[in-house]
Amino acid sequence: MTQIRAILLNQRGSLFEWIPVCLAIGIGCYFLLRFEPSTSFLIAVAAGAVLLLAATRWMGEALSPLLIAVVLVATGFILAAHRAHDVASPKMGWRYYGPVEGRIINMDRSSSDALRLTLDQVVLERTSPQRTPERVRISLHGDQSLSVAPTPGLRVITTAHISPPGGPVEPGGFDFQRHAWFGQLGGVGYSRVPLLAIAPPEKGQWELVIFQVRMAVAARMLDILPGDVGGFAVAVTTGARSAISQEALDDLRASNLAHLLAISGLHMGLLTGFVFALLRIVFALIPPLALRVPARKLAAGGALIVASGYLALSGGNVATERAFIMVAVALTALMLNRRAISLRAVAIAATIVLFLRPEALLGPGFQMSFAATTALVAVFGYMRDHQISMGPNWAKPVVAVLISSGVAGLATAPIGAAHFNAISHYGLFANLTSVPMMGTVVIPAAVLALVLAPFGLDWIGLWIMGWGLRWILEVGSFVAGLDGARSFVHGPGMAVLPMIALGFLWLCLWQGRSRLVGVLPVLAAFWLWANADRPIGLIAENGALVGVMTAEGRALSKAKGAGFVAQNWLENDGEATDQLTAAERWPETRVAALPGGIEVTHLAGKKAVATFAGCAEGQIIVANLNLPKNASGCVLLDPKRLEDMGAVAITETKSGVHLRSVRDVTGDRLWTPWYRASSQSERWRQ
């Protein structure tokens, strides 16, 4: 006990940085549960936290931080539960085809490059308001030449297919149902019918005004800068990526430059840094003013105002909100004569984000942003404290860029590989030749365009901005075209990223030589990742596709259809192949063999299902249409049976093969289709 007291006392002064870590652990515990905690359970957790907080009075200065840490974990758990219930809204529980009416609140593009509209104030035929989703998202396919031009706030109607948000494509995969729940997205679908306007945009609503300004800015930029350059400019100013081609996006992803599209900490930091420096120079050029006013504080305040405008212009998505909070904390610290860039400032920003949006913890944006920021602050802080020189003054900017790119790249590489299953081998080179262009040309040119816009001369700044963005696109295209530019890795297990994160944070936040203990969970996580086995069989949640592992890679039962599922399976396997190639591996007999003498047959279509005459033990029959009951001992998986299971993974065990469903992993949660305790959310609200 005495030794524990001594260790904790040595950490005094650096414990504040652990607040968001403890909150994140509690949030993670909530999302890991396989059941939805009841109100009484949450009250018990809250009561326990209050008792522990009271007990800190008797634990002394050394041991009280341990109890406070437990209280923070409980707080994170309750925050996540409250947020999940607070955003509760109706979700589609059936497939719908018919008229869809709503107000346009967002526009973007799908992976197939189709225009996609998000509607609120939704009205569905023969559906009561209590069952109607808060929001639906519709992709516009087919001939839309007769459609009205979509504009923010326009009330429209069309005929569309709407379905419930899809679940993970495999157990442990990305949970779109959970993502849709927190976005209050109750249905997704498509329309091939022209879009009709039934009411003009409403006036006086702040959100719609901002949306309209964003679209006007995007249209102006595309007039001056056509093509991918204009689409890139629109993305970095308004957050909308609908104007940039899929080819350019693929090049940026392959060269590890896709982060430049997202309005994140880099853009917000570059913008506010440039505005702050510009205002300092302006004050310095007016000596009477510089001698009478706190120029540094006023410059920080001006930069904060600009950052607020940038947040509004970007649409205020989660990534930009996170970046704004981080910048606001730093600028406020400057105005209060505190150190702007420190681990404490990063901890404050992370704490605010987790309090406002606990679900952000699970997204790659939050993880990569704070991993890069924490690593950069820790490394440069270490260099400052140990007086490590970056060379002569003329070389310091170059060395700083090299160190920043290398540190940020290393910190975010495992997270990017885990979420996107790809590693860019020339990403450092691409970033070293592109990020300085973003900071020295693109961002200043954007500010210049804003200043000149009232005089109709914004084209000057946009032209300069386009020159810098064209350079970045060409770098991306060049790097993506190099041999071996990108390799693919298989997805990690659920424990890998938390282990890497905790080990990394221990290295950065713990004081003393024992911080090196953080290396152990990181190494263990990479070992688990490298030795993880992929499922020998995968079955889509609606029975539309089956994938079986072979010596050549994953064999798929269909060359077309269920393309999104096929792409994700192959990416999670670490394969760079396409669905057609994978389908050629499927046996000509249409029966795939698994270890232990198990056979998998996929019946796709009415004709194939009609030929089904029964099966025997040791067979797994998968169909995309409902099959009759069969008591012969085989496993039948059709849409009706899969409805209460989700996608299924087949794994090899010592005793044979084992079927594990999405439901086995996620359990019965608010956002899952099999969750039936809807009255619990009502009791929470009351």
Average pLDDT of span 462-474: 95
Which band of pLDDT confidence, cut at 50, 70 and 90, is reported for residue 682?
A: very low
pLDDT > 90: what percent of the chain? 42
CATH number for 96-202: choose from 1.10.10, 1.10.1420, 2.40.50, 3.20.20: 2.40.50
Which is more confident, 396 or 7? 396
CA distance linking residue 37 with residue 76, whole number of Å: 14
| Joined tokens for residue 338 | 């505190």
Which band of pLDDT confidence, cut at 50, 70 and 90, is reported for residue 611?
A: confident
SS3 at position 117: strand
CA distance linking residue 66 with residue 485, whole number of Å: 47
Most confident of 13-22, 83-92, 370-379, 677-686: 83-92
Residue 109 has pLDDT above 50, yes or no: yes
- pLDDT confidence of residue 257: 86
* Residue located via tokens 């890139």: 232
- pLDDT confidence of residue 304: 92
Q: Give the burial class of 53: count Cβ atoms within 10 A of its Cβ; 0-12 exposed, 13-18 middle, 19 or more buried.
A: middle
Least confident of 167-171, 292-296, 515-519, 648-652: 292-296
Which band of pLDDT confidence, cut at 50, 70 and 90, is reported for residue 218?
A: confident
Residue 539 has pLDDT above 90, yes or no: yes
Residue 548 has pLDDT above 90, yes or no: yes
Phi, psi of 354 (to 5 degrees): -65, -35
Q: What is the pLDDT of the chain when averaged over all its residues?
A: 87
Domain residue extents for the chain: 2-86, 96-202, 213-488, 496-530, 537-666
Residue 61 has pLDDT above 80, yes or no: no
CA distance linking residue 196 with residue 213, whole number of Å: 23
Which is more confident, 115 or 679? 115
Least confident of 264-273, 290-299, 354-363, 454-463: 264-273
Residue 209 has pLDDT above 80, yes or no: no
Residue 377 has pLDDT above 60, yes or no: yes
CA distance linking residue 674 with residue 541, whole number of Å: 13
Average pLDDT of span 205-226: 83
- pLDDT confidence of residue 204: 63
Identity at 194, one-letter amino acid code: P
Average pLDDT of span 516-539: 93
pLDDT by residue (tens digit) across 668-677?
Answer: 999 998 874 4
Put simply, whether the predicted model's pTM sits higher than 0.85 gets the answer: yes
- pLDDT confidence of residue 62: 66
pLDDT by residue (tens digit) across 6-18?
Answer: 777 777 778 889 9
CA distance linking residue 354 with residue 7, whole number of Å: 28
Which is more confident, 165 or 213? 165
Residue 679 has pLDDT above 50, yes or no: no
pLDDT by residue (tens digit) across 561-590?
Answer: 888 999 999 999 988 888 999 999 999 878
CA distances from residue 213 to 238, 314, 315 in whole angstroms, order as listed? 9, 10, 10
